[in-house]
Amino acid sequence: MPSVVVLAVVALYPVLAAVWLSLHRFILVFGERRFTGLANYAYLLGDARFGSALGNTVYFTAVAVAVELLLAVPLAVLLNRAFPGRGLLRASVLVPWAIPTVVSARLWAWMFNPDSGLINRLLGGAEINWLGAPGYALHAAILVDVWKTTPFVALLVLAGLQGIPEDLYKAARVDGASPWRQFRSITLPLLKPALLLAVLFRSLDAFRVFDAIYVLTEGGPANTTETLSIYAYKTLMRSGDFGYGSTLAVATFLGVVLLAAVWLKWLGREEARE
Partner 1 sequence: MGRLLVVLVALGLAAGGCRRSSEAPGTGGRTRIVFKFQPLWGDPKPFRELLARYEQANPDVELVTEALPNASDLAHQFFLTSLQGGATDFDVLVADVVWVPEFARAGWVADLTEDFPPARLREEFLPGPVDAVVMDGRTYAVPWFVDVGVLYYRTDLVPRAPRTYEELRRFTRDAMAKTPGLQGYVWQGRQYEGLTCNVYEALWGHGGQSLGPDGRVLLETEPAREALAYLHGLIADGLSPPTVTGFGEEEARRVFQEGRAVFMRNWPYAWREAQAEGSLIRGKVGIAPLPTKDGQPGWGTLGGWQLAVNAHVSPLRRKAAARLIAHLTSPEANRVLALHYARNPPRLALYDDPVLRAEEPFIASLKDALVRARPRPVTPYYLLIADVLQSEFSAAVAGLRTPEESLARAQKQVDHLTGEQPEEAR
- What whole-number distance in Å separates Cα of residue 123 and Cα of residue 112? 11
Q: Does 211 bind partner 1 (CB under 8 A)?
A: no
Phi, psi of 226 (to 5 degrees): -80, 120
Which one, 96 or 114, has the nearer CB to partner 1?
Answer: 114
Angle 97-147-196 (CA atoms, 0-180°, nearest 5)?
80
Residue 96, preceding peptide bond in cis (omega within 30° of 0): no
Window contacting partner 1 (CB under 8 A); options: 56-64, 86-94, 196-204, 233-241: 233-241
Length of the chain: 274
CA neighbor of 145 nearest in space, from 206, 197, 224: 206
Binding mask 120-139 for partner 1 (x = CB under 8 A): -------x-xxxxxx-----
Window contacting partner 1 (CB under 8 A); options: 35-43, 71-79, 153-161, 196-204: 35-43
Q: Does 1 bind partner 1 (CB under 8 A)?
A: no
Q: Does 224 bind partner 1 (CB under 8 A)?
A: yes
Q: Does 21 bind partner 1 (CB under 8 A)?
A: yes
- What whole-number distance in Å separates Cα of residue 47 and Cα of residue 27? 18
Residues lying near partner 1 in the complex (CB under 8 A) are found at 14, 17, 20-21, 25, 27-31, 36, 39-40, 42-43, 48-49, 113-116, 127, 129-134, 217-224, 226, 234-235, 237-241, 243-244
